[in-house]
Amino acid sequence: MRVVCPHCKSVNNIPVKESYKKANCGKCKNSLLETKPMELTDSSFDEVIVNSDIPVIVDFWAPWCGPCKMMGPNFERSAANFALKALYTKVNTENEQNLGARFGIRSIPTIIVFKNGKEVHRVSGALDEVSLNNLASQFI
């Protein structure tokens, strides 16, 4: 399966397994098991979405948004449960206004799940860790 390195954004082909003890990027050699959500920009968004065989969960947020700040730690904790099962990413709509407009983001936070390069689910509003885990599990 193809996965995008959270460090250098290069595409890696790795074997499909139930769990992984070790998986490193072929280019930068950093761990692909890193679960800290990756920041996406206008220039990296499409490449990450198209080159990920695992679901990509995108949090559209803004730094001034109270509910976004509340959900941030939940999003990071949920990401830790899905190493190489789902790719958690964030788009700062303040900095990436083109992406916010492109996806019709009207309220934040908004979570969009992409699978096989296409949007498959969208939910607006802050979610707790359990809800985020359930959301990710639906698309794995």
Task: Name the active-site residue from 8, 25, 28, 65.
Answer: 65
Sign of CA dihedral 98, 102, 105, 110: negative
SS3 80: helix
Is 68 a residue of the active site?
Answer: yes
Q: Note whether 39 and 6 are within 8 A (CB).
A: no
SS3 72: helix
Task: Name the active-site residue from 8, 25, 28, 68.
Answer: 68
Lookup: tokens for 28: 């930068």
CA distance 24 to 6: 11
Residues facing 57 on adjacent strands: 88, 113
Is 5 a residue of the active site?
Answer: no
Catalytic site positions = 65, 68
